[in-house]
């Protein structure tokens, strides 16, 4: 039995695409090595933990009570005494000049109030220009003084010969006990890098053929547009899957990301996800006329899709209309799938929704893009 | 303008090249639209969508104690606006709920909690947290800690009342905490993401436009072979380049002003410093980025490769290593050293100073110096490579 004409056409296009892609070493570098480099750099850089924050200290009280509290607060490693201020205004000035990330002001009378059992107040000024440092500084100070307040209240009750009950909450973190950001962010980065590789490269590649007029030439041959597209996509699906394997290896070796769930679910999800991102690239190429435009179009898709994927910030904190919009974001579902399989050990039973959405999105965008592609050629 | 000297004639030729490039952009305005829609789209996303706040965190409760004290602890958790009670269950089902994504935390109170508190001892509870998202998990743990502490203080206060400890508890029977810290977040008291993000956003948008669009447009001329044609014209080589870069300098500045304007008008981003300083920093940054784009285009001569080179060397670093999102201080030493060579790092720092803190050159001069040095080095290397390419 001889192969059908469609299969022959498909094989011819595929051979041409593979040859063309492999010819330029630099393209191979950017499809395989560049994402890996970015994954590793990104994984090491993405860390929200902060310590050693430079602190301006204005101890206007200079009592044993104020010294003791400041010493204990500065001892836990999050804050570091950097400059001493003579007044609250000077401490404030240190914030303006970037010499301190926060300022602690202990007003006169603090020690006396503390001893007399009156409410003793401390002022904490935080430089809010840098969000991550601001949050870390504020929570370190707040937590310390809340603890000190509770201890003080309990001590007073005990001194009066009364019961001093206390509540202790022991947190136990599942899947990622040391709360390492990289375990979570690295799989997410991989999902983002796959979009860069597949969406932008497809969009620009097709725009380039359009620019150079080679697309027209292929179209006068008997090759059907659908076959042409299928042949063009296949190498990128293979490269994308290869990138997934490479990234998984790097993740487990370098960052110690566990693989707790079934790899088959991950592979199926990756395949469906690649269909979505390639379809998106194809779609972008049909609405742009130059490589520059398809690049910008790709970026305009990638950035919102990454930011609204739940990979960097939680989807629950978004307003309802944006939360609804994330249902059309393949990145969200691939991110959830990766996190589920790798960290929580979830399988098909828990992740079928994600797979179904990826399938729907992939089929939808590929269909739409193919239809548009044929129209723009016709 | 007759009898003009050579300098004026050169300026005229640069102008003509710039006019040609502007015509290219105008003839097919999609590039322009994309470049100007992007900042607004991103600001809207940052303004509304990107927030690390705890909200609607699904909580499961396993109360094995069922005493008034345990019920009080549970209701302290469910009454907090950040948490949403989704299930009452046994502790052994927490894992299943986490994996199905139905809960992110489970509060487990074992039998004996209320009895221990009544005896004046320590009531122990456990919070199981889904650590697959460590950012939310650590915020959640901090919130839960604060809630438990408040509940502990309430128990103390109840004990004070029960013991009629008027004196010990400050006269009212209520144990007031003897110590209070008042925290002010300067420059952005409501901690809104849009305010935080504008400086970082501007840096990476300008890097995107200046490096990538120039790299693409010049690489495109090489690709099509029209660069040789331009060199054959009476316009000098550097005039060609200067003319091609000029419109993108304008586009980059337009983006900067657009982001700041939309930020100020729509998201109440403060503009405390000098506008002239803002433009100065923007200009120096853009010149460096344009130089980098030129260098990339000369080295690659291919738009697809130029994209990746630009993404690797400008786009990703200005997002990741600039300190806009992740604190630079905590990165490994090698990355910290690398970030010192990223102009976006200085720009983000300077824009934070100018917009939010109202600082001036007295504090920001090292940033300006570093950006100027980068621009000078990159332009020198780019022109040297360029000379060799065309010679």
What single string gives the DSSP state of each residue in A11-79? HHHHHHHHHHHHH-HHHHIIIIIHHHHHHHHHHHH-------EEEEEEESS-SHHHHHHHHHHHTTSSE
Instruction: DSSP for B137-155, please give it.
Output: HHHHHHHHHHHHHHHHHHH
State both tokens at A322: 């944006």
Place of tokens 């019920």: B71
Residues in chain B: 391
A14 at B interface, C-beta within 8 A = no
Q: Is the pTM of this model over 0.90?
A: no
Confidence class for position B391, pLDDT limits 50, 70, 90: low
Place of tokens 């005229």: B12
A338 at B interface, C-beta within 8 A = no
- Cα separation, B96 vs B98, in Å, equals 5
SS3 content of chain A, % helix, strand, coil (to 5): 70, 10, 20
Task: Tell me the three state secondary structure of residue A104.
Answer: strand
Contact A140, B198 (CB under 8 A): no
Question: In chain B, which among 210-249 make CB contacts under 8 A with chain A?
Answer: 212-213, 216-217, 220, 224
State both tokens at B353: 């100073």
> What does the pLDDT average to over B187-207?
75
Mean pLDDT of chain B: 82
> What does the pLDDT average to over B239-255?
86
Distance from CA of A224 to the nearest CA of B (A): 26
In DSSP terms, which residues pair with B96 in a beta bridge?
A: none
* Pick among A167, A193, A312, A351 to test the B interface (most B CBs inside 10 A): A167
For residue A82, CA distances in Å to A58, A94, A97, A189, B156 come to 11, 10, 13, 36, 37
pLDDT for A2 equals: 67
DSSP letter for A199, please.
I
Identify the CA nearest to A336 among candidates A319, A360, A355, A349.
Answer: A355
For residue B241, CA distances in Å to A40, A99, A188, A295, B219 come to 35, 42, 39, 22, 12
Confidence class for position B177, pLDDT limits 50, 70, 90: low
Reported as a single tens digit per residue, the pLDDT across B3-31 is 568 888 888 888 888 888 888 888 878 77
Instruction: DSSP for B272-333, please give it.
Output: -S-HHHHHHHHHHHHHHHHHHHHHHHHHH-SHHHHHHHHIIIIIHHHHHTSSSSS-GGGS-H
State both tokens at A42: 């990104």
**Secondary structure element (H or E) that encloses residue A291, with its range:** helix A291-307
B261 at A interface, C-beta within 8 A = no
State both tokens at A114: 């503390």
State both tokens at B357: 């803190």
A378 at B interface, C-beta within 8 A = no
Asked if the model's pLDDT at residue B173 lies above 50, the reply is no
In DSSP terms, which residues pair with A166 in a beta bridge?
A: B122
β pairing state of A102-106 and A120-127: antiparallel
Which residues, 6 or more positions from B96, have their beta carbon under 8 angstroms from its beta carbon?
Answer: none
pLDDT for B166 equals: 42
State both tokens at A2: 């001889």
A180 at B interface, C-beta within 8 A = yes
Per-residue model confidence as pLDDT tens for chain A (378 residues): 567 888 888 898 889 888 888 887 877 887 888 888 888 888 888 777 777 889 999 999 999 889 998 999 888 788 898 899 999 899 988 888 888 889 999 999 898 888 887 888 899 998 887 777 888 888 888 888 888 888 888 887 777 777 778 888 888 888 888 778 788 888 888 888 888 888 988 888 888 888 888 887 877 888 888 888 888 889 889 999 999 999 999 999 999 899 999 999 999 999 999 999 999 999 999 888 888 888 888 888 888 888 888 887 788 878 888 889 899 999 999 999 998 999 888 899 889 999 999 999 999 999 999 888 877 765
pLDDT for B91 equals: 77
For residue A96, CA distances in Å to A90, A123, A195, A325 come to 10, 17, 41, 40
Identify the CA nearest to B69 among candidates B154, B173, B164.
Answer: B154
A1 at B interface, C-beta within 8 A = no
**Secondary structure element (H or E) that encloses residue B180, with its range:** strand B179-186
* Pick among A296, A332, A355 to test the B interface (most B CBs inside 10 A): A296
Asked if the model's pLDDT at residue B316 lies above 90, the reply is no
Identify the CA nearest to A195 among candidates A36, A301, A354.
Answer: A301
Please judge whether A162 and B159 are an interchain contact, meaning their C-beta atoms are less than 8 angstroms apart. yes
Place of tokens 């499809």: A31
What percent of chain B lies above the pLDDT cut of 70?
92
- Cα separation, B200 vs B146, in Å, equals 31
Reported as a single tens digit per residue, the pLDDT across B336-382 is 898 999 999 999 989 988 988 888 888 899 999 999 999 999 988 98
Asked if the model's pLDDT at residue B89 lies above 90, the reply is no
For residue B174, CA distances in Å to A312, B153, B177 come to 43, 10, 9
Please judge whether A157 and B160 are an interchain contact, meaning their C-beta atoms are less than 8 angstroms apart. yes
B313 at A interface, C-beta within 8 A = no
Place of tokens 């990138």: A243
What percent of chain B lies above the pLDDT cut of 90?
17
Please judge whether B156 and A289 are an interchain contact, meaning their C-beta atoms are less than 8 angstroms apart. no
> What does the pLDDT average to over B45-74?
84
Confidence class for position B139, pLDDT limits 50, 70, 90: confident
Give the distance, in angstroms, between the CA of residue B85 and the centroid of all CA atoms in the same chain: 32
Please judge whether A313 and B51 are an interchain contact, meaning their C-beta atoms are less than 8 angstroms apart. yes
B256 at A interface, C-beta within 8 A = no
DSSP letter for B83, please.
E
Place of tokens 């909580």: B59
Please judge whether A308 and B49 are an interchain contact, meaning their C-beta atoms are less than 8 angstroms apart. yes
Contact A292, B306 (CB under 8 A): no
Q: What is the ipTM of this complex?
A: 0.78
Please judge whether A336 and B101 are an interchain contact, meaning their C-beta atoms are less than 8 angstroms apart. yes
- Cα separation, A371 vs B74, in Å, equals 56
> What does the pLDDT average to over B200-213?
80
Nearest Cβ partner for B179 among A143, A152, A162: A152
Which residues, 6 or more positions from B247, have their beta carbon under 8 angstroms from its beta carbon?
Answer: B18, B21, B22, B25
Asked if the model's pLDDT at residue B216 lies above 90, the reply is no
Task: Tell me the three state secondary structure of residue B133.
Answer: coil
CB-CB neighbors (< 8 A) of B182 in chain A: 121-124
- Cα separation, B86 vs B69, in Å, equals 21
């Amino acid at each position: 039995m001889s192969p059908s004409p469609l299969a022959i056409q498909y094989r011819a296009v595929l051979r041409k695409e593979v040859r063309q892609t492999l010819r330029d070493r630099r393209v191979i570098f950017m499809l395989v090595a560049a994402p890996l480099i970015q994954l590793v750099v990104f994984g090491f850089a993405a860390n929200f933990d902060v310590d050693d924050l430079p602190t301006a200290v204005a101890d206007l009280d200079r009592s044993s009570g104020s010294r003791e509290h400041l010493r204990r607060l500065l001892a836990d490693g999050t804050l570091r005494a950097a400059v001493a201020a003579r007044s609250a205004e000077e401490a404030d000035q240190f914030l303006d000049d970037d010499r301190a990330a926060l300022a602690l002001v202990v007003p006169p009378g603090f020690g006396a109030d503390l001893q007399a059992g009156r409410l003793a107040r401390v002022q904490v000024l935080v430089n809010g220009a840098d969000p991550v440092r601001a949050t870390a500084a504020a929570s370190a100070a707040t937590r310390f003084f809340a603890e000190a307040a509770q201890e003080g209240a309990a001590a007073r009750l005990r001194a009066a010969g009364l019961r001093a009950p206390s509540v202790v909450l022991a947190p136990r973190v599942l899947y990622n006990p040391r709360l390492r950001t990289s375990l979570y962010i690295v799989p997410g980065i991989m999902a983002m890098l796959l979009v860069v590789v597949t969406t932008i490269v497809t969009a620009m590649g097709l725009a380039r053929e359009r620019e150079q007029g080679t697309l027209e030439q292929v179209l006068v041959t008997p090759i059907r547009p659908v076959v042409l597209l299928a042949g063009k996509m296949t190498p990128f699906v293979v490269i994308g899957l290869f990138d997934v394997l490479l990234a998984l290896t790097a993740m487990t070796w370098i960052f110690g990301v566990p693989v707790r769930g079934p790899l088959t679910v991950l592979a199926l999800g990756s395949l469906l996800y690649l269909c979505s991102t390639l379809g998106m690239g194809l779609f972008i190429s049909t609405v742009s006329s130059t490589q520059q435009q398809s690049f910008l179009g790709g970026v305009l898709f990638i950035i919102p899709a990454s930011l609204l994927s739940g990979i960097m910030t939680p989807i629950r904190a978004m307003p309802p209309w944006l939360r609804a919009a994330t249902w059309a974001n393949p990145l969200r579902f691939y991110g959830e799938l990766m996190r589920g399989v790798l960290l929580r050990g979830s399988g098909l039973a828990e992740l079928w929704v994600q797979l179904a959405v990826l399938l729907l999105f992939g089929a939808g965008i590929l269909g739409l893009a193919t239809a548009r592609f044929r129209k723009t050629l016709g | 303008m007759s009898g003009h000297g050579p300098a004026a004639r050169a300026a005229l030729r640069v102008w003509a090249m710039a006019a040609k490039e502007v015509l290219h952009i105008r003839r097919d305005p999609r590039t322009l639209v994309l470049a100007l829609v992007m900042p607004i789209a991103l600001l809207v996303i940052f303004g509304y969508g990107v927030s690390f706040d705890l909200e609607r965190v699904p909580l499961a409760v396993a109360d094995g104690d069922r005493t008034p004290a345990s019920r009080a602890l549970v209701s302290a958790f469910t009454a907090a606006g950040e948490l949403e009670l989704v299930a009452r269950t046994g502790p052994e089902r927490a894992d299943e709920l986490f994996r199905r994504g139905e809960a992110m935390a489970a509060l487990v109170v074992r039998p004996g909690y209320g009895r221990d508190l009544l005896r004046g001892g320590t009531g122990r509870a456990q919070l199981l947290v889904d650590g697959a998202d460590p950012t939310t998990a650590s915020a959640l743990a901090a919130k839960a800690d604060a809630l438990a502490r408040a509940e502990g203080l309430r128990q103390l206060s109840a004990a004070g009342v029960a013991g009629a400890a008027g004196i010990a508890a400050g006269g009212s029977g209520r144990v007031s905490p003897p110590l209070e810290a008042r925290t002010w977040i300067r420059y952005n008291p409501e901690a809104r993401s849009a305010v935080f993000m504008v400086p970082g956003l501007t840096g990476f948008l300008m890097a995107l436009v200046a490096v990538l669009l120039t790299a693409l447009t010049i690489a495109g001329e090489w690709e099509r072979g029209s660069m040789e044609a331009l060199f054959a014209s009476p316009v000098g080589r550097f005039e060609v380049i200067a003319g091609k870069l000029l419109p993108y300098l304008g586009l980059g500045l337009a983006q900067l002003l657009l982001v700041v304007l939309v930020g100020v008008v729509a998201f109440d981003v403060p503009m405390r410093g000098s506008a002239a300083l803002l433009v100065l920093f923007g200009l120096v940054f853009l010149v460096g980025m344009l130089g980098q784009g030129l260098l990339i285009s000369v080295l690659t001569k291919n738009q697809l490769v130029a994209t990746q080179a630009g993404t690797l060397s400008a786009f990703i670093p200005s997002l990741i290593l600039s300190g806009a999102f992740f604190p630079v201080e905590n990165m490994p030493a090698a990355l910290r050293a690398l970030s010192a060579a990223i102009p976006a790092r200085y720009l983000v720092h300077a824009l934070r100073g100018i917009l939010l803190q109202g600082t001036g050159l007295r504090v920001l001069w090292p940033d300006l110096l570093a950006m100027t040095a980068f621009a000078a080095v990159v332009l020198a290397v780019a022109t040297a490579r360029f000379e060799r390419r065309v010679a």
